[in-house]
């Protein structure tokens, strides 16, 4: 048990508050003390739990008092994240980087009723479902550090969810599609993950206009025509690279329309063996087949690349908006996307050669 916050945490909070003043905010003395305590408790207990923190503090702070401070202190969390990002960019003299978009599920209790944004989520590990939250994250990858710079809660429209459940039941009972209720329009207060990601990007470029973003990376969920078109418009035409589903239709030089997998199976002999380097210096051998193809769903020509690592049997596919890039540069850039997986799986913010434990975005910033 310790009664005071860690020295580096208190120093971080003081610097954070100075940065916050630059974006029109300011922390009170009690707010600074509360955040300092929470970050210190989080580091020592490796959990976010009021009761655990009460026990750790020797009951100096009760769980009810800590919870009350969270709900009633009016801490400007969004401005804090902006201020903290500015602080770190300045501290590490960062002027360029890569943005990575992804989303993560967080399982909650089946009896949860009072936690915001909880909904029924498909369990990716099996065929079942669980109640939980889904967050869309934006991470900044630089040569010196990798940090979260934005996040948003995703929640499906309950009316659409109820329609899906009812429609599935009617379908299983052999009710014709024409006799089933039409899908309701999604309400604006329930944005899609793609819309949330675009908003996070807009916020980043608004508050950090001097940072030169080399490219934006995302998985197949964000590989739609609308997302890639809008994301590529930032900074006058930034490169956007995402995964591509193998079933996406592409048109070859002869004008034939077929799915990406079938197309590249026909041109497998064109694949070349190349060497890439994973962050940290690890060397990997990959087989690459890159072609500029018309992607039917995008109604535009894209750079489409089939990639297979030496220890894999199947090819995966990625798509890039900027056709001027070399294929190896696109593949090399996309390897940085694994850092977001590290962040989700281990709850860590990374520096080259090290990993720093973290449970929350603000803690990740404090430890960086």
DSSP string computed for 198-209? HHHHHHHHHH-T
CATH at 352: 3.90.350.10
Same domain, 115 and 254: yes
Mean pLDDT of 153-168: 93
What percentage of the chain has pLDDT greater than the value 90?
A: 58
pLDDT value of residue 322: 96
pLDDT tier at 234, thresholds 50, 70, 90:
very high
User: For residue 366, what pLDDT band results from cuts at 50, 70 and 90?
Assistant: low
pLDDT at 301: 94
pLDDT attached to residue 224: 94
In a domain, 13, yes or no: yes
This prediction has a pTM of 0.87
Average pLDDT over residues 108-130: 82
CA distance 262 to 151: 37
**Same domain membership, residue 324 and residue 196:** yes
1 with 124, same domain: the answer is no
Number of domains in the chain: 2
Q: State the average pLDDT for the chain.
A: 87
pLDDT score recorded for residue 352: 45
Distances (CA, A) of 8 to 30, 82, 124, 346, 363: 18, 20, 39, 23, 12
Let me know if residue 167 belongs to a domain.
no
| Residue 166 falls inside a structural domain | no
Residues 53 and 88 occupy one common structural domain: no
| Domain boundary pick from 28, 46, 75 | 75
pLDDT of residue 356: 34
| 172 within a domain of the structure (yes/no) | no
254 and 203 in one domain?
Answer: yes
With DSSP H G I counted as helix, E B as strand and the rest as coil, what are the percentages for the chain, rounded to 5?
Answer: 40, 25, 35
Distances in whole angstroms, Cα of residue 117 to Cα of each of 36, 157, 265: 27, 11, 43
In this predicted structure, what is the pLDDT of residue 346? 56
pLDDT for 357: 35
pLDDT per position as a tens digit, 261-285: 999 998 876 788 998 888 767 888 9
**Backbone CA torsion sign across 52, 53, 55, 59:** negative
Q: Which of 51-65, 109-123, 298-312 comes out lowest in average pLDDT?
A: 109-123
Which residue, 27, 45, 75, sits at the end of a domain? 75
Looking at the structure, tell me whether residues 22 and 150 fall in a common domain.
no
Answer whether residue 173 is part of any domain. Answer: no
Specify whether 47 is located in the same domain as 143: no
Q: Go through 4-33 and write b for each residue having 16 or more CB atoms within 10 A of its CB, e for each that does not.
A: ebeeebbebbebbbebbeeeebebeeebbb
Last residue of a domain, one of 24, 45, 75: 75
Looking at the structure, tell me whether residues 67 and 89 fall in a common domain: no
Residue with tokens 């006058």: 236
pLDDT greater than 80 at residue 338: no
Strand positions, DSSP E, 252-315: 257-259, 272-278, 282-295, 300-309
Tokens 């193809």 belong to which residue?
293
Does residue 305 surpass a pLDDT of 60? yes
The answer as to whether 168 is a domain residue is no
Whether 303 shows a pLDDT value over 90: the answer reads: yes
Are residues 109 and 12 part of one domain? no
- Mean pLDDT in residue range 213-225: 95
Confidence band for 367, pLDDT divided at 50, 70 and 90: low
Return the pLDDT at 176. 93
Domain match, 262 and 134 both: yes
Range of the domain at 21: 1-75
- Tell me the pLDDT tens digit for each residue of 33-55: 999 999 999 888 888 889 999 99
Element (H, E) at 20: helix 7-21
Q: How confident is the model at residue 298 (pLDDT cuts 50, 70, 90)?
A: very high
What's the pLDDT score for residue 58?
87
Specify if 278 maps to a domain. yes
Backbone torsions φ then ψ of 303, nearest 5 degrees: -85, 115
Q: Which residues are registered as beta bridge partners of 132?
A: 107, 119
Task: Please say if the pLDDT value at position 127 is more than 70.
Answer: yes
170 assigned to some structural domain: no
Please determine, for residue 100, whether its predicted confidence score (pLDDT) is greater than 50: yes
Q: What is the pLDDT of residue 317?
A: 96
**pLDDT of 237 strictly over 90:** yes
The pLDDT score that the predictor gives to residue 355 is 35
Residues 46 and 122 in one domain: no
pLDDT of residue 365: 67
Has residue 354 got a pLDDT over 50? no
Backbone dihedral region for residue 80 (phi beyond 0: left; psi -120 to 50: alpha; all else: beta): alpha
- 130 and 33 together in one domain: no
């Amino acid at each position: 048990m310790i009664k005071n916050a860690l020295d580096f945490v208190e120093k971080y909070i003081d610097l954070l508050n100075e940065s916050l003043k630059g974006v029109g905010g300011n922390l009170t003395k009690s707010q600074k003390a509360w955040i300092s305590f929470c970050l210190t408790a989080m580091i020592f207990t490796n959990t976010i739990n009021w009761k655990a923190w009460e026990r750790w503090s020797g009951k100096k702070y009760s769980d009810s008092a800590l919870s009350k401070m969270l709900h009633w202190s009016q801490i400007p969390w969004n401005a804090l994240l902006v201020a903290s990002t500015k602080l770190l960019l300045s501290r590490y003299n960062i002027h360029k980087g890569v943005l990575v978009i992804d989303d993560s599920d967080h399982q909650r209790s089946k009896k949860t009723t009072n936690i915001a944004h909880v909904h029924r989520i498909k369990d990716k590990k099996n065929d079942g479902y669980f109640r939980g939250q889904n967050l869309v994250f934006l991470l900044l990858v630089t040569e010196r550090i990798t940090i979260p710079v934005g996040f948003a809660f995703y929640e499906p429209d309950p009316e659409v969810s109820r329609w899906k459940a009812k429609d599935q039941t009617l379908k299983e009972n052999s009710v014709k599609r024409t006799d089933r209720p039409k899908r309701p329009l999604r309400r604006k207060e329930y944005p899609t993950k793609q819309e949330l990601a675009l908003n996070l990007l807009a916020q980043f470029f608004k508050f950090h206009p001097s940072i030169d973003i080399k490219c934006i990376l995302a998985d197949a969920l964000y590989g739609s025509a609308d997302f890639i078109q809008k994301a590529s418009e930032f900074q006058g035409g930034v490169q956007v690279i995402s995964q591509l589903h193998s079933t996406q239709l592409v048109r070859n030089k002869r004008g034939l329309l077929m799915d990406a997998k079938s197309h590249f199976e026909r041109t497998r002999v064109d694949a070349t063996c190349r060497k890439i380097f994973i962050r940290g210096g690890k060397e990997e051998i990959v087989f690459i087949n890159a072609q500029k193809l018309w992607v039917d769903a995008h109604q535009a020509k894209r750079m489409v690349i089939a990639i297979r690592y030496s220890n894999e049997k199947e090819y995966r596919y990625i798509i890039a908006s900027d056709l001027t890039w070399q294929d190896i540069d696109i593949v090399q850039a996309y390897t940085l996307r694994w850092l977001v997986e590290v962040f989700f799986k281990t709850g860590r913010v990374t520096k080259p050669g090290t990993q720093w434990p973290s449970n929350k975005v603000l803690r990740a910033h404090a430890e960086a």
